[in-house]
A and B are shown apart, each in its own frame.
Chain A
Amino acid sequence: MIRERLATAYNWFDERTAVRSLTRKGLYEAVPVRGAWFYTLGSATLILILLQLVTGIFLTMLYVPSVTEAWASLEYLKQHDAFGSIVRGIHLWSAYVLLFVIGLHMVRTFFSGSYKRPRELNWVTGVGLFVLVLGMAITGAFLPWDQAAYWTAVVVTNIPAYTPFIGSFIRALWRGGDFVGPITLVRTFGIHVWLIPAVLFPLIGAHLALLRKHGEHGSYINYRGAYRAREGVDVPPPPKQRPIEPPYPAVPSEEVWAAPLETEDFYPYQTFKDGLVSALLVVVVFILAVAIGAPLEAIADPSTTNYTPVPEWFYLPLDQLLVLVPQQLIPLILVLPAGGVVLMLLLPFIDRGPERNPFERPAVMVPGAFAVLFVVILTLLGSGRLFNQ
């Protein structure tokens, strides 16, 4: 009886909103079986960004973006509000985990060549999201207005000052003056809670819409059997070619297939893996938030002479670059990161061949692998300073 009533209500609702076909369309999409665990990185990134959104909204119910009140409000949170501290801890640690996971997601996409036609714009929006998330992380680091936050603000806002001609203008635009002061904090707060999110969330929508349009790409393992046997190569005999069907519209080439070998439904098979990985990460974040929490150092003091500013870990490679680049070559600190982002944006338009196997694409894989290696090594070298103050 109740069941029937509910079904009728659902039908009424469906007639007016088409919710049934929308759900169907969302849930039953063919996704590749091989490499499916790697795809969980994307959904984990999404979940962690949403975690940021939720905790961030609730943190604005206490935090005051003012040089006199910001530190005091967080100190109050630390002293008198155990649950509030956990919320702040989740906000911080999920940001750290997010930066790590989004990096892995990007590396995975790069190595499997998933940015190839017709998925170029998927990659481009992804690069945009990566940059925006980094922007969120660095602006968020300013907000507590403790010693670490203050000196991060000073150093980070000073980096654009080395732009030729308009450098000090850009610096003053961010700082709201020549020096870091009251306006700097409010501006950064505005950027952190409104400006970047207003771009970030629509871009996430575009990223997901494009993913749904073109389907998952499939790892190169899906295509491995398709390569012609070369001299000294043990390859299994190529299996029968699978007929191409949506959502895999790429044109088949002589050697490479357009579609993965095996696919299965997105729901519940892929959602199970996604859910498992995301839940695991959230549990890890929660444990870190409760066990370690978010640190708050002494209040900002520009007159200090015994405090050693140590950058946030995700900022270590750039900071190590600041150490290494001598005074005559200082523009390098802008050229290298900016050049890196431009190259990332151009990647799908440089590497346009149908080849998917990472071992057969040395022209992009070698520079990419070196770029990753350089970032890792700079981080390692920089992290030495975390322990030697």
Chain B
Amino acid sequence: MSGLLAVVAPILHQLAAQLPAQAPQGKNLVAAQAAIGVGFSIHILIAGLVSGAGELGPAIEFLGYMRQRRRYDRLARALGHFMTLYFSVSSTIAILLITVLLVGFWGHFWSTIATIGWWPFFIEAWTFVLQVSLAYLWYYTWDPLRGFKGLHMAIGGLLAVASFLQVYMIDIIASYMMTPTNPQNPLRLALNPTSYPLTVHRTVGNLAYVGFVFAAFSAFKFLRARDAEDRAYYDWAGSFGILWGVSMTLVQPIVGYSYAKEIQLHTYAAWYKMMFGTLSPVFLWQITLLGLMFIVSLVYFTRRLRTDEATGAGLLSLMTIGMVASTVLAAMPYHLSLTYDSVLAAGLNRPFWDGGLINPLGSMIPWKVLALMGYSLLAIAAVIWYLRGLPGVVWGHARRAEQRLLVVMALLTVMMMVTMGFIRENGRAPFLISGEMTIQGQQNTQTTQPTPQPTSVP
């Protein structure tokens, strides 16, 4: 491994010497950051779908085989079709981002990160090849291999593994930038403190995201469908997509909390910024948005069951009320100023009844933790009751309002993903690699991160 590195590193350094030595400054910096931000958001939104589809598609095919249902097969095939269409779009954006924006604006950073993480990038490149070949193979052998479903599902399984590896490899790099470890040790690099939670968070998130987006897509198709069979199929696919998405999303509070915990222990400054600093309003918005997503999906469940007068709608509407209460608890600001620092500076870090700006009910511990537990438990209950009510549903009867809810759900999910990317990338600022490289200078700094002195936090 190190021998290979010895060969690769000089070449990379030579290439890096030809890159612009000066990072964007001043107004250019803002423009460059905006370009990178927009570019990466679009990239993540499309790439998340592609890799999610690569994992969800085979899973649905297997489920359909186990249950002997044609609809599952049709949905899995649609996901395969989506992959063949959008894989190239996704990879084009990714390569454009790397070659033009990253190399052009932050060349030194790029050569550094490529030297450190050359092997995850190397495997990443090959998983692209593997993923695209398997995706085409999987989609185009659907009919030829109809008699050999086991073999076809095995191809699907490999596709899922390739899709997972692709996410994992790029997560190694992304989490390294947040919590750097000794890059000489490949194991430490691959298993750096936040790589576990980030990988689980993203994999589960992509699976949920593709479910929500396909639900919205099915909603559009349902509204335009003419014959009864198509209406039944798209109605079912929308319901399946949102059910799948909710089932995955309700795991996320635990994983996300773990992720924040690792950041607190290993990159305290980033954690402080997220919880009490300039990013805390965005963080509050994110936790509220999560509640909104659950509320919308619970409203969908309730309405869809009520349309066919299936059992359980009443209980589901009660759960919706509970979810609203949890969201309100989660959305309460901890303090009413922008950051904890400014509250502290003004000497107003007291409860509001003592004339301060602190709202004890809005603190992360234990109130927001309780709200997050409320989200998860209510969502589990809702999934169970919706599944129990489903035998009473006749597919194809859905109304337009329910389909609109599916579209709203997909929009909320997109907002959620952009918000989370924003928080994670800005948590590190002013560093590109935490504690090692700043965004303006691109120089390897030796200074340790400015650690805010911990104040007693209720």
Contact = CB atoms under 8 A, between A and B. Distances in A.
Q: Is there a contact between chains A and B in the complex with CB atoms less than 8 Å apart?
A: yes
Interface of A: 231-235, 320, 323-324, 326-329, 359, 362-363, 366-367, 370, 373-374, 377-378, 380-381, 383-384, 387-388
5 contacts: A324-B254, A327-B365, A366-B247, A378-B254, A384-B191
Nearest to A227: B68
Contact of A366 (B191, B232, B257, B383): B383
Nearest to B72: A232
A234 B232 CA distance: 17
Nearest to A326: B365
Nearest to B367: A328
A374 B70 CA distance: 31
Given A233-B69, A324-B258, A387-B188, 6 more contacts: A233-B67, A233-B68, A320-B258, A324-B261, A378-B254, A381-B197
B192 interface: yes
- Counting chain A CB atoms within 10 Å of each CB, which of B68, B71, B232, B250 scores highest? B68
Contacts of A362: 384, 387-388
Interface string B170-206: 0000000000010000011001110111001000000
A234 B68 contact: yes
Contacts of A381: 196-197, 200, 255, 258
B388 A387 contact: no
Given A233-B68, A363-B388, A384-B197, A323 B261 contact: yes
Contacts of A367: 380, 384
Contacts of A327: 365
B179 to A, nearest CB: 9
B251 interface: yes
A324 B191 CA distance: 20
A287 to B, nearest CB: 23
A328 B365 contact: yes
A165 B255 CA distance: 32
Interface in B373-421: 380, 383-384, 387-388, 395
B436 interface: no
A373 B249 CA distance: 13
Given A326-B366, A370-B380, A377-B255, A359 B261 contact: no
A370 B381 CA distance: 11
| 7 shortest interchain CB distances as A-B pairs | A362-B387, A384-B196, A328-B366, A387-B191, A326-B365, A234-B68, A381-B258
Contacts of B192: 388
Interface of B: 66-71, 181, 187-188, 191-193, 195-197, 200, 232, 247, 250-251, 254-255, 257-258, 261-262, 266, 365-366, 369-370, 380, 383-384, 387-388, 395
Contact of B69 (A234, A373, A384): A234
- Counting chain A CB atoms within 10 Å of each CB, which of B67, B70, B257, B395 scores highest? B67
- Counting chain B CB atoms within 10 Å of each CB, which of A233, A359, A377, A388 scores highest? A388
A388 B200 contact: no
A320 B181 CA distance: 21
B251 A373 contact: yes
Contact of A326 (B69, B195, B250, B369): B369
B197 A387 contact: no
A122 to B, nearest CB: 26
A324 B232 CA distance: 44
Nearest to B68: A234
Contacts of A370: 250-251, 380
Contacts of B232: 232
A4 B409 CA distance: 82
Contacts of B181: 388
A387 B387 CA distance: 40
B71 A232 contact: yes
A388 B384 contact: no
B69 A377 contact: no
A255 B69 CA distance: 19
Contacts of A231: 395
- Counting chain B CB atoms within 10 Å of each CB, which of A323, A324, A377, A378 scores highest? A377
Nearest to A328: B366
Contacts of B193: 384, 388
A234 B365 CA distance: 51
Given A366-B383, A388-B181, A377 B200 contact: yes
A387 B384 CA distance: 37
A324 B258 CA distance: 7
A18 B67 CA distance: 48
A234 B196 contact: no
Contact of B369 (A235, A329, A359, A374): A329
Contacts of B387: 362-363, 366
- Counting chain B CB atoms within 10 Å of each CB, which of A323, A374, A383, A384 scores highest? A384
A378 B232 CA distance: 39
A378 B251 CA distance: 11
Nearest to B380: A370
Contact of B262 (A234, A374, A384): A384
B376 to A, nearest CB: 9
Contacts of B395: 231
A366 B69 contact: no
A359 B254 contact: no
Nearest to A234: B68
Nearest to A359: B67
B255 A324 contact: no
A346 to B, nearest CB: 16
Contacts of A383: 196
Nearest to B387: A362
A384 B197 CA distance: 8
Contacts of B187: 387
Contact of A232 (B69, B255, B257, B365): B69
A362 B386 CA distance: 9
Contacts of B250: 370
B305 to A, nearest CB: 14
A381 B195 CA distance: 9
A100 B196 CA distance: 22
Given A327-B365, A384-B196, A374 B68 contact: no
Given A324-B254, A377-B255, A359 B262 contact: no
Nearest to A378: B254
A125 to B, nearest CB: 28
Contacts of A388: 181, 188, 191-193, 266
Nearest to B67: A359
A234 B370 CA distance: 45
Contacts of A234: 68-70
Contacts of B196: 380-381, 383-384
A320 B196 CA distance: 13
Contacts of A363: 384, 387-388
B246 to A, nearest CB: 11
- Counting chain B CB atoms within 10 Å of each CB, which of A233, A367, A374, A381 scores highest? A381
Given A233-B69, A324-B261, A370-B380, A377 B191 contact: no
A386 to B, nearest CB: 8
Nearest to A224: B68
Contacts of A387: 187-188, 191
A324 B262 CA distance: 10
